Amino acid sequence: MKGINMIRTAKLFLRCDKNIVNNLRAYYNDNCYQYVKPERKYRIKYNDEWCAMFVSVVAHLNGYRDNFPYEVSVNEQVKIAKANGTFTCDVKKVRQGDLIVFNWNDDFVPDHIGFVDSVGDVIKTVERNKDDTVGVRTLKKTSKYIYGYIKC
């Protein structure tokens, strides 16, 4: 049920405008920041990339607290998930509402994150992706750009 709720919440922000994005940033700084490791405390700023912030806000809105990798850095989210045992590369273990991690630069460093909406022959996602808004993406589950997944 949590996975369905995460996707429903994420979809509420599809094609959101810059004012909503600024509200999401403020929400992160007011509500999610407190869960970030002390040595990594960073408040998201206006010009920062915001895919990691977006998944953090959606998780917080859905009741996740200490058991979520709150961060504004995708790479740091992956480090936290690996330490917690919630990171996987096995697409067979992935369910709706889990996080999908990408490496668009093909340099083995995770650099983008979103939500898994569905998994079949293709994976459908909801994520902060382009044009500074939230959108959907469909890609083959064998895509070389998929770095892995974080179980929620």
Q: Mean pLDDT score of the chain, rounded to an integer? A: 95
Sheet containing strand 122-128, edge to edge, reads 87-88, 146-150, 99-102, 112-119, 122-128, 134-140
Residue range 2-150 forms a domain whose CATH class is alpha beta
Domain coordinates in residue numbering, the chain: 2-150
Q: Tell me what pLDDT residue 106 has.
A: 87
Q: Tell me what pLDDT residue 33 has.
A: 97
Contact 150, 86 (CB under 8 A): yes
Query: How confident is the model over 30-47, as a mean pLDDT?
Result: 95
Checking if the pLDDT of 129 tops 90, the result is no
Distance CA 128, CA 68 (A): 18
At 24, the pLDDT band (50, 70, 90 cuts) reads: very high
Q: Tell me what pLDDT residue 1 has.
A: 66
How big is the chain, counted in residues? 152
At 98, the pLDDT band (50, 70, 90 cuts) reads: very high
At 131, the pLDDT band (50, 70, 90 cuts) reads: confident
At 88, the pLDDT band (50, 70, 90 cuts) reads: very high
At 3, the pLDDT band (50, 70, 90 cuts) reads: confident
pTM (2 d.p.): 0.96
